[in-house]
A and B are shown apart, each in its own frame.
Chain A
Amino acid sequence: MTKNILPILAAVSLALPGSVSAQDPPESVDLSKFPAANVEDVVVPVPSEIFVVLDKLGSPNWRGELRSSLGKNTGNRAQVALLLGTVIAEGFIAVEAEDPEKVQEIGREVLELAEAINVRKAVIARSKSISEKAKSKDWLAVRREFDGALQDVRGAMQELGDDELAQLVSIGGWLRGTQVLTSIVSKNYSADGAELLFQPDLLTYFTEKLDGLKSTRLGKDPLVAQTRKTLAAIRPLIGKEDGSKISQGAVERINKLTEDNVTAITTPKDS
């Protein structure tokens, strides 16, 4: 059904923007009138949404941020889900570094980790596409494929009834993305760079997801417990209101917290 309408839309879309003026929306709205149940969950930003801003603020050494080891799969499903998130985030870093070999390695690792949690089928095509587009250095396309891989993995997990595990993938990616963000900002501090950490609703969203885990096993998992503590420790460091200045000390502290958490995920003690 969707495919049938695409040829028609392709022609329509060319004439869309700018062709019609919008109705005048109100200059302000009372957000409290939107019942809580109607306010959507936060769409979790992919790391590249932040990385492209960092590129505008300076010239980060992206290769220097890449990890030599992507981490070890212990077979623990919580660890694998968190690890998968960090690996996909690594893919975005490798795209910024424009490192085709690393991107291909990450694409293969995504496939292996997806297999460990029974969602390999969902990412086979993505993995292949990541490899092909990295070879041709089509970085915008590779970035899109990593975003797609993340959504495909989460979608497949939800299809299998593993919604909670899918959340861990997102959180793993956020932790690694935040580690890199704070690493870069720490090395060349600016208030604008630090402001990228102001993500209070995202932190609340992640915290609520972890606090609301129905699976007792997941809820008591040591890595999940550590992640919960990390999020709680970060919250007071990012300021209370939009535009709050986030100090260099706070950036460095968040870097340490996320680094420790990512290290625990990628090199667990029982590995």
Chain B
Amino acid sequence: MKKPLLCLALLAVVAAPVFAYVNDALSFAHEAAVPYIKKGFSVREDAWGGDLGVKEQQAVTAQLFKGNEYWFCLGTDVKGAVVTVNIYDSKGRLVEAESWQKGRFAGARIVPEKTGTYYAIITVVKSPQERTGWAVVYAYK
């Protein structure tokens, strides 16, 4: 899905507004990350994205390194939607240090105790639309 996000984002430039939601969700995700940039985090240019129905979830895979601190920042283009992101380890245990949620924005912080694979689980809690576009970026320091 990461790849489709990139492809769709490129298409959106020339074929707006069909894929405009992709760019918009990504913009919101980047906006959610702004406060962490001010705290010295570097936001990755790579991102994940897609769309989900209400109550649907999606897991995205990330290779994280012990010694770093990460923020995963989620955004959606749908006004009135509520989305969440939470971080689990490879055994399915909740490992985030903290998380927050505010309507179309959400964030989760993790300080990995081990280097390895982690899963950010995206949930569309509610939404006025059948499908809700979303995007996640992460920042590290």
Contacts and interface: CB of A to CB of B under 8 A. Distances in A.
Contact of B42 (A10, A16, A18, A143): A143
A155 to B, nearest CB: 5
Contact of B102 (A20, A52, A155): A20
Nearest to A143: B42
Interface string A137-157: 000100110011011001100
A270 interface: no
The interface size bin for chain B is 35 or more
Contacts, number: 193
A5 B45 contact: no
Contacts of B65: 45, 49-50, 53, 196
B27 A6 contact: yes
A44 B3 contact: no
Contact of B115 (A13, A44, A48, A195): A195
13 contacts: A14-B35, A17-B36, A28-B92, A29-B92, A41-B1, A41-B3, A43-B2, A53-B65, A140-B42, A155-B7, A196-B65, A196-B115, A243-B116
B48 A1 contact: no
Contacts of B3: 41, 158, 163
A17 B89 contact: no
Interface stretch (A31-39, A66-74, A78-86): A31-39
A216 interface: no
Interface string B118-136: 0101000100000000000
A39 B68 CA distance: 23
B46 A43 contact: yes
Given A22-B99, A155-B6, A10 B84 contact: no
A53 B7 contact: no
Interface string B43-56: 11111100000000
B67 A57 contact: yes
A16 to B, nearest CB: 6
B83 to A, nearest CB: 11
A2 B31 CA distance: 11
A34 B59 contact: yes
Interface stretch (A109-117, A199-207, A225-233): A199-207
A44 B46 contact: yes
Nearest to B119: A31
B2 A17 contact: no
B63 A199 contact: yes
Given A151-B45, A155-B9, A13 B31 contact: yes
Given A2-B23, A201-B61, A201-B63, A28 B93 contact: yes
A31 B59 contact: yes
